[in-house]
């Protein structure tokens, strides 16, 4: 009879060894538990910092004379204010055309200059010798001649604007008509802006004359000065003239860069400071 007892013992030993080897291998080579990373924490959106915006109002005076610049201004792609001299051959026509294009319209009120009568400010100018009925009559004619106007500024007027009585009465009439006032500030002695505060007339005064010289380089330099004042004050008012071709060219030249430099063109009424 064949003996199998020893063989079974050997198989048992082998089986135990295999089990132990498997356990040792499992212990030695098992992978550590995989760590699941925590979900990412959403970063809080940083509040957008709004850059300060600098505002520039450009008033174009002396509208009413025949000018080849009309078409260029009608096609200008931003805000401008046009101040119309009353009773000229194209005053009403140009005011209506510009108004229909969405531009702001003012009355450019002729007033007595220091050099009067050698210098003629135009028909129905407000003179220092005028009585109150004279002033009322003249202003009503101007308002009737320009039904598109919302405000007014002075044409010349270095003598009239120094007369506090005449200016007080003039500003009260404009206030009653719902007009704002822009002091062209042709003299440092003007009562135009000073009295507007006292009388609660919405007003602002001119900061820069753009085109005392009709050259591109000069006008562009004046516009840069206007930008600098706007950056200092928050807003600034410049005055140019309808007949000056280079004024229109500078405005076209400056326009594309204004937004990039954080400037914005506004109407004169939006520059009111009181």
Sequence ranges of the domains in the chain? 54-271
Question: What pairs with residue 151 in β-bridges?
Answer: 106, 180
- How does residue 21 score in pLDDT terms, banded at 50, 70 and 90? low
Phi, psi angle pair for 84, to nearest 5°? -105, 125
* 13-17, 62-66, 162-166, 215-219, range with the lowest pLDDT: 13-17
Give per-residue pLDDT as tens, 68-81. Answer: 999 999 999 999 99
Question: Distance between CA atoms of 261 and 116, rounded to whole angstroms?
Answer: 43
Residue among 143, 65, 147, 73 at smallest CA distance from 109 = 143
pTM for this predicted structure? 0.82
- pLDDT digits over 228-241, tens only? 999 999 999 999 99
DSSP 8-class letter at 65: B
pLDDT beyond 70 at 50:
no
| Alpha-carbon gap, residue 66 to 99, rounded angstroms | 17
What's the rounded Cα separation, in Å, for the pair 252 and 60? 14
- In Å, how far are 22, 95, 141, 206, 228 from 78, measured between CA atoms? 85, 17, 31, 20, 20
Q: Which residue has the higher pLDDT, 227 or 32?
A: 227
Mean confidence (pLDDT) of the chain: 90
Query: Residue 241: its pLDDT value, please?
Result: 98
Cβ–Cβ < 8 Å for 152, 183 = no
pLDDT digit string (tens) for 255-267? 999 999 999 999 9
The pLDDT of residue 274 is 79
The secondary structure of 67-129 as a DSSP string is -TTHHHHHT--S--EEEEPTTSTTHHHHHHHHHHTT-EEEEEEEE--TTTTTS---TT-B-TT
Q: Look at strands 104-111 and 81-84 and give their pairing.
A: parallel
Q: Is the pLDDT of residue 27 over 60?
A: no
Packed helices 216-233 and 245-258: angle between N→C axes, nearest 10 degrees: 40
Q: What is the pLDDT of residues 122-178, one digit of tens each?
A: 999 999 999 999 999 999 999 999 999 999 999 999 999 999 999 999 999 999 999
- Angle between helix axes 132-145 and 164-176 (nearest 10 degrees) is 40
**Which residue would you say has higher pLDDT here, 126 or 1?**
126
- Band (pLDDT 50/70/90 cuts) for residue 268 is very high
Confidence of residue 1 (pLDDT cuts 50, 70, 90): very low
Shortest CA distance to 76 belongs to which of 245, 221, 248?
248
pLDDT band with cut points at 50, 70 and 90 for residue 253: very high
Distance, CA of 201 to CA of 227 (rounded, Å): 26
Superfamily of structural domain 54-271:
Glycoside hydrolase/deacetylase (3.20.20.370)
């Amino acid at each position: 009879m064949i003996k199998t007892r020893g063989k079974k013992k050997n198989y048992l030993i082998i089986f135990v060894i295999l089990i132990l080897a498997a356990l040792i291998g499992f212990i030695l080579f098992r992978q550590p538990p995989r760590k699941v990373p925590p979900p990412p924490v959403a970063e809080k959106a940083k509040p957008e910092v709004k850059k300060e915006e600098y505002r520039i109002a450009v008033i174009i005076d002396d509208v009413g004379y025949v000018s080849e610049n009309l078409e260029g201004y009608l096609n200008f792609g931003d805000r401008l204010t046009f101040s119309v001299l009353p009773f000229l051959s194209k005053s009403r026509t140009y005011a209506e055309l510009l108004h229909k294009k969405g531009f702001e319209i003012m009355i450019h009120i002729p007033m007595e200059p220091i050099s009067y009568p050698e210098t003629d400010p135009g028909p129905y100018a407000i003179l220092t010798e005028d009585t109150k009925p004279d002033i009322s009559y003249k202003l009503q004619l101007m308002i009737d001649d320009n039904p598109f106007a919302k405000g007014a500024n002075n044409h010349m007027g270095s003598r009239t604007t120094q007369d506090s009585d005449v200016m007080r009465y003039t500003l009260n009439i404009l206030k009653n008509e719902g007009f704002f006032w822009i002091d062209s500030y042709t003299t440092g002695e003007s009562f135009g802006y000073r009295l507007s505060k006292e009388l609660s007339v919405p007003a602002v005064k001119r900061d820069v004359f753009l085109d005392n010289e009709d050259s591109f380089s000069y006008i562009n330099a004046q516009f840069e000065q206007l930008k600098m004042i706007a950056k200092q004050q928050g807003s600034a008012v410049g005055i140019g003239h309808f007949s000056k071709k280079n004024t229109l060219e500078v405005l076209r030249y400056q326009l594309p860069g204004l937004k990039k430099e954080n400037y914005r063109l506004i109407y004169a009424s939006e520059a009111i400071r009181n």
